[in-house]
Amino acid sequence: MEKVRKHIIFSGRVQGVGFRYTACYLARPLGLTGWVKNLWDGDVEMEVQGDPAAIGRLIQGLESGHFIRIDHMEVEEIPVIREREFRETWDS
């Protein structure tokens, strides 16, 4: 399986709507690893790693959230790292 890692900034109505919880809920059964956190400016930052199709399903699931509205995604492919889980973080 080819793994990729993506750094994504989500803009829109993405804070206070269960975005991080939903990301963790969807990512874990898809076998994805990485992290998600709120940013001070109202955006949400994520690094996600795994099968490209699974990452696509994660994003599709986020876009179909009842209260989540993604207006823009800034996506950059970055090097794959070694990690075991997908988690919510508050690190700066």
Residue 88 is encoded by which pair of tokens?
């919510």
Residues with catalytic annotation? 20, 38
Q: In what order do the strands lie in the sheet with 86-88?
A: 69-78, 4-13, 44-50, 33-38, 86-88
Give dist(CA 60, CA 81) in Å, integer.
24
